[in-house]
Amino acid sequence: MSEVKKKSSWLWPLGLMATGLAGAAVMAFRGCWHSKMSWPVRAQEHSYQVCMGCGIKRLFDVDEFRAYGPYSYDLNRLIAWDRAHGGKVPREVPPSEKRPA
Ligand SMILES: [Zn+2]
């Protein structure tokens, strides 16, 4: 006599999971491929670029004129990474001392 009303309760966690995953993906990438980077900005003896789309930062090698290293929203983290990897810190060399006599 008892009617077993099995609600599709499993749909709930599934739906929540999908929403959570989508949210996490948006949080991580914000649908941005960092293809449009700003001009290099100098800060704390380092140069870096900022993504025009999401604001993520990346170190920039002014000598070779290219970005390098990981992406991060935290500049201090990038600088720490740079130092940990030998640190290609661009130094200000006075023009008179640039070429040895
Ligand atoms: Zn971006």
Instruction: Please check whether residue 20 lies inside any domain of the structure.
Output: no
pLDDT digits (tens, 9 = 90+) for 6-22: 666 666 676 666 666 55
pLDDT digit string, tens, across residues 24-67: 544 455 689 999 999 999 987 899 999 999 999 999 999 999 99
C-alpha 38 to ligand 1 mean position (Å): 10
Report yes or no on whether pTM surpasses 0.75.
no
The reply to whether 1 falls in a domain is no
Q: Measured between alpha carbons, how far is 4 from 6 in angstroms, rounded to an integer?
A: 6
What's the 46 CA to ligand 1 centre distance in angstroms?
20
Please indicate, yes or no, if residue 68 is contained in any of the structural domains.
Answer: yes
**Does residue 51 belong to any structural domain of this protein?**
yes
Residue 83 Cα to ligand 1 midpoint, Å, equals: 24
To which H or E segment does residue 77 belong?
helix 75-84
Q: From ligand 1's centre to the CA of 55, what distance in Å?
A: 6
Instruction: Indicate whether 60 belongs to any domain.
Output: yes
User: Has residue 37 been placed in a domain?
Assistant: yes
Interval between CA 99 and ligand 1 midpoint (Å): 39
In a domain, residue 61? The reply is: yes
Joined together, the tokens standing for residue 50 give 């900022």
Number of domain units in the chain: 1
Mind listing the pLDDT tens digit for each residue in 76-89? 999 999 999 876 55
Q: Is 13 part of a structural domain of the chain? A: no
Q: What residue numbers bound the domain in which 39 lies?
A: 32-92
Number of helices and strands (H, E) in the chain? Answer: 3, 4
Relative to beta strand 41-43, strand 46-50 is antiparallel
